[in-house]
Amino acid sequence: MSGVMQGFPPAPADRATLANWRDAPYSAWAFHHVREIVPTADIPNDPAAVRPLESAPRDFSGLAFAGPDGAEWSFEGFLEASATDAVVVLASGRIAFERYANGMSADSPHILMSVSKSMLGLLAGALAGRGVLDPDRPVEEVLPEVADTAYRGATLRHLLDMRAGIAFDEDYVAFPPQLVAYRKATNWNPLAPGDEATDLRGFYAGLTERDGPHGRGFHYVSPNTDLLGWAMERAAGARYADLFAELVWKPLGAERPGCITVDRLGAPRAAGGMCLTARDLARVGQLLVEGGARAGAQIVPEAWIADIAEKGDPAGWAAGDFAPFYPGADIHYRSKWYVERPGPGGGPMFFGLGVHGQNLFVDPARELVVAKFSSQAHPLDPELIPLTHRWAAALRRAVAS
């Protein structure tokens, strides 16, 4: 990120803007300065209830693992090759490893991209546990505004599990017009000359085509998650950022406030706009390790977490969009979480995945949490995604030995 946003003012070629903030080299600065580029809503923490994280360093310098092509990787070599901005490893609830780069620190909030979806999955569980959200309810009953769209007949569960039959091409390389319109509606892309200002909730009126039945195999459509955020606000009668703060963020003991990007009318980008520190993302993982509870107080129902671990459909995953990134892995997707199903001698591993290399890995049986932020050049890198999964597997083996 040499030169990016350096100088008073920076040279025009060095400025991170709404037009380039997701592109390298600007992203290495922009991903932890998001609220200087896109409007955000605060997610307050409770300074009086912070969960302390003790330090118990472990030496992973000798950790080595084989990549998908058989080449050997070192721990340090992987961190460099994967454009790591920050990484925090918790073992038995203590910080075993922590590192920051590209101007980040322990206090820097970094964008989660689609790991934000997994945060929504926990909030959905908290609301369902309170009887506020019924996953089996049809979407149009909660949001009559989408009754005449392709979402008619879909349930909130279909949205939670990415199994709605919505015709939407989320190609981050070709960027089809529908995806560009979505980005503009969420306030993530600048309007072109002559464009009329749009907003996220109004965007759904244009989603009228289906490409399969609801209940189909895993079909990755980010607007599904934003629609869920809207449904939560309608069902609970409160803003998404406030709901997350009160039901998840403050109770789990976050150390710093978070934030989430919003559109021109204040609608949250629940699918990808949340920004948290690496330590606090690790605290979210620790909440899963401890069954959704902190100090005996249940935050996310234990039954909801068990449902994530057990009730996904591996056949639906295998027929879906992302299976080629994980060849040979036994995976399902449930309530916005990816789950690597239990193998011999181990339990499931929950994980969240975001474009440009955002990761949260949680292995409850081994009491391992890995939070990793990156500024990788490609949104979905077909080489780095499976390599990162192997790195996480090597950490799982290391803490189990």
Q: Which active-site residues does the annotation give?
A: 114
For the record, the structure tokens of 32 come out as: 């932890």
For the record, the structure tokens of 100 come out as: 């920051």
For the record, the structure tokens of 139 come out as: 């979407």
Tell me if 330 sits within 8 A of 318, measured CB to CB: no
CA distance 397 to 310: 22
For the record, the structure tokens of 250 come out as: 């403050």
Tell me if 77 sits within 8 A of 85, measured CB to CB: no
For the record, the structure tokens of 269 come out as: 């980008």
Q: What does 97-123 look like in DSSP terms, one character per residue?
A: EEEE-TT--TT--EE-TTHHHHHHHHH
Tell me if 150 sits within 8 A of 167, measured CB to CB: yes
CA distance 194 to 189: 14
Rounded alpha-carbon distances, angstroms, from residue 113 to 36, 104, 366, 375:
16, 17, 26, 11
Virtual CA dihedral for 235, 240, 243, 248, nearest 10 degrees?
120
Closest CA to 23 of 178, 188, 169, 225: 188
* DSSP H or E segment with residue 160: helix 156-160
CA distance 176 to 239: 31
First-residue to last-residue Cα distance in the chain = 38
How many residues belong to the chain?
A: 401
For the record, the structure tokens of 181 come out as: 């319109």
Strands (E), 262-348: 274-276, 293-294, 297-298, 331-334, 337-340
Rounded alpha-carbon distances, angstroms, from residue 278 to 79, 110, 219, 310:
15, 7, 29, 27
Tell me if 135 sits within 8 A of 155, measured CB to CB: yes
Tell me if 278 sits within 8 A of 112, measured CB to CB: no
